[in-house]
Amino acid sequence: MSGKVLRVLYIASEAGPFVKIGGLGDVAGTLPPMLSRLQPADTGGWKIDIRLVIPYHPAIAQKFDFGKPILTLNLHRKSGDLAMDVYQTDVDGMPVYFIDGDLITRAENIYNFQPELDMPKFAAFSFAALELAKQLDFQPHILNANDWHTALAVYALKKKRRWDPFFRGTRSVFTVHNLPYMGSECKPILQDYGCFVWPHLQLPKWGRSFAMPLGLLSADHINAVSPTYAQEIQTPAFGCSLEHFLARRSNRISGIINGLDYQDWNPAIDPQLSQNFDVDHLGQRAANKLALQAEFGLAQDANVPLIILISRMDHQKGMDIAFSALRLAVDEPWQAVILGTGAEVIEEQARQLEADFPERVKAAIRFDGKLARRMYAAGDVILLPSHYEPCGLTQLIGMRYGCIPIAHAVGGFADTIQDDRDPADWTGFLFRENTPDMLAEMLHVAFSIYTQQPETWQAIQRNGMRQDWSWKRSALKYLQLYLDVGKAGVP
């Protein structure tokens, strides 16, 4: 290995298993440990010394006891210094640090609907994460920050490099998981920390002191969570009024698909299933369909296509598109089980669909991870009509469990679902125009193959189950990105 060590400071607002609200928690909880476990034989001799840093949210403190703080940070502000305690544990030998302080402790929720309420908390965390690296004498080659919550660490790093030798060799990767979530105005907060905000003319006027745009402006490299999303954010349809700025930085934008934990999501050993199965014993899967039909009081019929929807119920996910498409496809034979919670109006649409078609639609308006696993193993197809989808894990889980995705061709769906050659080579179905009519038409195509070409249908299932979307695959791509971005600072 001859001393080839890459030091990475990875900061995020959440990370499993400590706290996980959305996809970011999956990524931050899985990618760093996977990077730390990579062997020199896989990395060209590199050893990755990666440290994960997240806020010590009250929700974490209620479940985990990390003993006494290992140190206390002192952040200088014009309005008064902040003392922030640091706790430590490890995940498979990888150090994990938790930053605490009044702004974090007093927060009732991990995220508020009004980002301006979260801005002081995440600003303090972002500045503290950089200070923690100095106190630990952990001089990172790469700072990998995630979404608007840690964008100010990227902005502060660029300024610190000018005068602080400790960070002179540190380069930044800013990972965009969901561009529309911009954070809020933060100029007064930055000034309080002595971090002057220039009138950055590259950005639109409204974004010159917003957290996410400042992170995008300051990053040495912008990484989206899929190659297609990396391209989409440079267009008016998905760029949230930053598309022209991002297009000018296109040579510093790339995308890496999120991975899936293949040990956790494994139908051969998943204890939640009525019947375990694998790609070589696909016939055993049918028992799960019959069990789910019985669980929800649906007619137990192995020949009727069973549709599943597992989603957060909000506009982005296009659940209204799915419900309308099912109404248009009412003359087709199908059953549907819906699982999710979110916006009241969309929850009510799900309940109304069940009320209108009680013999074929069942809606579980709740979060239920165990039920979701049973649904993946039972469903014939899973509907994914998101208006935009930076990456998505649902389609990866569906394919892993032999549940064929029917998805809008955006973001990570377009990158992970194959449907442009012979149907026997497909892994799912993509529709290009996100309307109820187009989804209903795609349902018709899928049902025709299901009923008339069962061997082709099983080939599509097997193709999906054999895909490699594991975290190791993604981690190796991140390593290469880090090495490319950090050339100036990596020995």
pLDDT for residue 167 is more than 80? yes
Tokens for 190, please give them.
Answer: 């930055």
pLDDT at 196: 84
Q: How many domains does the chain have?
A: 2
pLDDT for residue 490 is more than 90? no
Together in a domain, 286 and 375: yes
- DSSP state, residue 13: S
For the chain, give the mean pLDDT.
95
Together in a domain, 53 and 197: yes
> Region 405-425: what's the mean pLDDT?
94
> Region 265-293: what's the mean pLDDT?
97
Tokens for 238, please give them.
Answer: 């998905």
- Domain span at residue 136 reads 5-259+472-485
Together in a domain, 96 and 67: yes
CB 180: neighbour CB atoms within 10 A? 12
Together in a domain, 200 and 319: no
pLDDT at 229: 98
pLDDT bucket at 2, cuts 50 / 70 / 90: very low
Is 78 a domain residue? Answer: yes
Give bridge partners of residue 175 from the DSSP assignment: 146, 223
> Region 320-329: what's the mean pLDDT?
97
Is 296 a domain residue? Answer: yes
Together in a domain, 196 and 322: no
pLDDT for residue 483 is more than 80? yes
The enclosing domain of 454 has a CATH number of 3.40.50.2000
Together in a domain, 37 and 186: yes
Together in a domain, 238 and 318: no
Is 232 a domain residue? Answer: yes
pLDDT at 487: 82
pLDDT at 186: 95
Together in a domain, 291 and 243: no
Is 318 a domain residue? Answer: yes
CA–CA separation, 88 vs 120, rounded Å?
A: 23
Strand order in the sheet with 429-431: 361-364, 335-339, 306-310, 381-384, 404-408, 429-431
Is 51 a domain residue? Answer: yes
> Region 195-210: what's the mean pLDDT?
89
Together in a domain, 198 and 251: yes
Is 124 a domain residue? Answer: yes
Backbone angles phi, psi at 292, to 5 degrees: -70, -40
pLDDT for residue 1 is more than 80? no
pLDDT tens per residue across span 15-41? 999 999 888 999 999 999 999 999 999
pLDDT at 491: 60
Query: Are 387 and 434 within 8 A, CB to CB?
Result: yes
Together in a domain, 236 and 295: no
pLDDT bucket at 489, cuts 50 / 70 / 90: low
pLDDT bucket at 152, cuts 50 / 70 / 90: very high
Together in a domain, 155 and 301: no
Is 273 a domain residue? Answer: no
pLDDT bucket at 198, cuts 50 / 70 / 90: confident
CA–CA separation, 226 vs 62, rounded Å?
A: 34
> Region 397-404: what's the mean pLDDT?
98
pLDDT bucket at 224, cuts 50 / 70 / 90: very high
Query: Are 188 and 237 within 8 A, CB to CB?
Result: no
Together in a domain, 375 and 445: yes
> Region 129-135: what's the mean pLDDT?
98
Is 434 a domain residue? Answer: yes
Mean pLDDT check: name the lowest of 4-13, 179-188, 190-199: 190-199
> Region 237-261: what's the mean pLDDT?
96
CA–CA separation, 224 vs 203, rounded Å?
A: 19
